[in-house]
Chain A
């Protein structure tokens, strides 16, 4: 991703084009969140550790979903 600003929007657009249903991330900023929401992609937040651990949390319904951004712009 090569962006001075708008990196979150580009990233969100990219994964939307791959028909992604669920994004697992630590933090999601306001513009990325707006874009993901428009694409109908669920945003699982406060994720850390390994990818295996994160996916396990999805399986066991332990993922917290964002209803608003949980990071400021330019965090």
Chain B
């Protein structure tokens, strides 16, 4: 069972709900903090970190001495992360999504894949609860590949809790995709309702059942 805890608006209590669920379920569960831009489950859970691994994305590096300027790399790239222009080929590694098509299709074998550091994944224990979190490298703009790497640590024999980032964009969708249920946490304010509606609309498209928790102070 995989439950994602999400919200439209930030600061509604996602992490409070996610960590409370984890605390109640204890040994049976695993909590993964998928809010890689500002992970905060650790503040409440105070886990002992046991492993820390760097996650990277393969991005192109071009050897112009081998390149015949055919331009296939730029034609296949959907993100303009590599472009053949004039007598050269320029790579923009920060735009690359790491699909590998450019190096695979290069007839000159002129493109080498080099790693772009995305951040780290840390695992550990918070009392009897298994803990995983991703922390994005400062300056890195692309969260989804790191979130997918965090979700690769899911243990299917556990009750899995995913703490999602706020909002309704790619990092949220990447987190909740594949979950069996989504708990949306909101607050009874016009802002809470507005952002909840946006996020529900986005997640409904994935066909995942949704429940709502309204925070009252």
Residues of A with Cβ closer than 8 Å to B?
3-7, 9-10, 12-13, 16, 31, 34-35, 38-40
Contact = CB atoms under 8 A, between A and B. Distances in A.
Interface string B37-57: 000000000000000000000
B95 A6 contact: yes
A31 B79 CA distance: 12
Interface of B: 74, 79-81, 83, 85-86, 88, 90, 92, 95
A65 to B, nearest CB: 18
A34 B90 contact: yes
A35 B85 contact: yes
B86 A38 contact: yes
B83 A35 contact: yes
A11 B90 CA distance: 15
Nearest to B141: A5
Contacts of B88: 38
B59 to A, nearest CB: 14
Contacts of A35: 83, 85, 90
B80 A6 contact: yes
Contacts of A5: 79-80, 95
A16 B88 CA distance: 12
